[in-house]
A and B are shown apart, each in its own frame.
Chain A
Amino acid sequence: MKWTARTRTVLVCALAAGVFTAFSYRLVDLQVTQHEDYAMQAAEKHTMRKVLHARRGLIFDRNGELLASNLPVRTIVADGSHIRDPAAAAKVVAPFLEMEESELRTKLDSKKKYIVLQRKLAEDKALELAKAIRDADIRGIYSEPDAVRIYPNGQMLGHVLGFLNHEGRGVQGIEMTMEEALCGQDGYRYIEHDRTGREIMLYRGQEKPPLHGLNVRLTIDMGLQAILEDELDSSFRDLRPEMAVAILLDPKTGEVLAMTNRPCFDPNFPGDSKPEQMKNRAIVDMVEPGSTFKIVVASAALTEHTVTEKTTIYCEGGSFAYGGRILRDHHGYGALTLHDILVKSSNIGSAKMALMMGDAKYYEYVRRFGFGDRTGIELPGEISGLVHPPSRWDKLTITRMPMGQSVCVTPLQIAVGMSVIANGGNLVAPQVVRSIEDADGQVVAERPPRVVRRVIPEGVAGFVSNALGGVVGEGGTAQLARVAGFQVAGKTGTAQKVSPKGGYAAGKYVVSFVGYLPQEDPRFVCLVLMDDPKLASNLAYGGLVAGPIFSRIGERAARYLDLVPALRAEKAGPLALAGGTKERTN
């Protein structure tokens, strides 16, 4: 081959073409054939899915008072692969965290890409830390937004509000039942970052904004709640019962205006409390209701025309033999009308009415009053109580159940049962959630009052209500439950405490009073119940223990609600526990 200029030119061109072909092949190989792999590798290195946290909804009372809110905090994290000098970083960062410098250094030395250094660091501390990091020009320490739930009223309403677990999910109370509405939905954003970890804003990818949680408005009125808490607190300190419950309910709508239990806990620090303190005993504990249950048999007997308003029932002089056992009243009574049976709280009179009605009919009314069923209130863990069907009754049950033995109910069921009398005969479903609202206060979902069923005719409810008015009058069992200026209606309950070993515990009583005012147009039903107050057994009566507490709550609540007194404001008798009536009401 002749080595001419042309030959040389062709050779150089061929060589150049070969080189370019090789490069082109590699380019196609990188960009087309292996595109997916390399794109994925690049994405893994520079792209990340950033979670946009949804803000948890707030909880308000019926008047807009804030009951649960969020406090922004920071989670401090480190990317070990970005940290050039772990020792220097540890020295700068450690003073801001609850951690020794050496411990922090060990963590940073691990070179892991995601190391959580501290959770729930206060926002102001986090800002100081960020400034220190900037000043020292340290890379690899970052902060992520987070929030802690705060309950500004502490223990007040703790059982109703509940609290969150470490994952931020509700585990008790409204926080749990309304979790779906409150929690919202986290969003996300795909971002690319440079090698220092800073977001390259220009390459922001797909984004879904967070849906913040909805706000929940409760039926609770914190003014009334404060009254209830205050009164129950002082009584709990004085009488040292095993537990105490107080509930305020609007009998017409079923709205729970206030609810409290003792012992209680602070939902800001749930870890400091024992499980026993966290139980909302108004719905998860059951007790024998005692004589408060007599309203059922009285209403049922009147509705079924088993007795009339004028019928008299002979009360055997206080001792009635039935089923091989003696049933006693605490005073010997002769013939009593239905009105007097309730006012005097006669066990024998109540038992005889139930016997006249028969098992099946009486049981039907017990269930119609809502006993034995969950009320459906928006609180977790509610139990249905224990009402055995007649097929499981023994011979004595028909005489024991009317006076509140052989049956177990929750305190809330007692209050709801009394609401039936107060509102003219309807069973209303109790509710603690009033509405669900968005951040602008627009109502998203409303919970209107719900009437479950008509239990008794209005006339019967009126008659029983009238008799219950006599319970706080002269000769009644709850004279200390009077509220000056108002006609009160109510019923005492003094039940022997069931022993875990079987039978009844000697000298231990569950005392209660459930009533409402004003009798002519009830604004609230109030239940006060105490389990085993530490008193001499001759003083442990519903009328003597729970009655005065009801009176004080009623008086303060009436003033708070600006109710106009309709009676001459007599000064109530001394609210001492001693010297009152001596009849035990069951």
Chain B
Amino acid sequence: MTVNRKKQVNPVHVSALILCLLVGLILGGSGLSFLYIKNQQFALAEEIRQVERQIADARLLNETLLARVTELSSRRVLQQRIAEGLIAVKPIADNVIARLTPPAAAVEDGVLRTAFNEGTRQ
């Protein structure tokens, strides 16, 4: 049997090829996208972790400073500093005091005064 090879047709199935390519592309693309998104997730998660750490550090620093400020402005420390002469307490002039309690005169002589017996203190 003689066969004319020239007459033999080996058609390229373009549609099938395109389908295969398309499927391949879709699968490959999906895989790459998955990887990309996964990497993105990891990167974002890492960023979130860093930000969380920064916030936590800032909070800690804030709390540390608050504790230090509280201690330094406590009555104990302030009184100690007054005693050491590092700070001084200046009397407030009477004309700049805004009184919540309305000033009233003493019953007997009508003179305004505050309580005192400091001079007799032992």
Contacts and interface: CB of A to CB of B under 8 A. Distances in A.
A72 B117 contact: no
Interface string B92-116: 0000000111111011110001111
A396 interface: no
A566 B117 contact: no
B35 interface: no
B20 interface: no
Contact of B115 (A156, A226, A558, A575): A558
7 contacts: A69-B70, A72-B64, A124-B64, A201-B42, A552-B117, A552-B121, A567-B106
Interface of A: 66, 69-72, 123-124, 145, 147, 150, 152-156, 199-202, 222, 226, 483-486, 548, 551-552, 555, 558-559, 562-569, 571-576
A142 to B, nearest CB: 13
Given A485-B114, A555-B117, A569-B106, A152 B60 contact: no
A562 B100 contact: yes
Nearest to A150: B67
Contact of B109 (A484, A555, A568): A568
Contacts of B63: 70-72, 147
B6 to A, nearest CB: 30
B14 to A, nearest CB: 31
A69 B109 contact: no
A562 B99 contact: yes
B122 to A, nearest CB: 5
Contacts of B109: 568
B1 to A, nearest CB: 23
B70 A123 contact: no
A479 B56 CA distance: 61
B113 to A, nearest CB: 5
B106 A563 contact: no
Interface residues of B, number: 41
A483 B118 CA distance: 11
B107 A575 contact: no
A568 B63 CA distance: 51
A332 B76 CA distance: 50
B26 interface: no
B81 interface: no
A485 B75 contact: no
A200 B44 CA distance: 11
Contact of B114 (A147, A200, A565): A565
B106 A568 contact: yes
B60 A548 contact: no
Given A150-B71, A201-B45, 11 more contacts: A72-B67, A123-B61, A152-B71, A153-B76, A199-B49, A226-B75, A226-B79, A552-B121, A565-B115, A568-B108, A575-B122
A555 B75 contact: no
A201 B48 contact: yes
Given A154-B76, A568-B106, A568-B108, A70 B67 contact: yes
A34 to B, nearest CB: 27
Contacts of B71: 150, 152
Contacts of A574: 120, 122
B76 A152 contact: yes
B18 interface: no
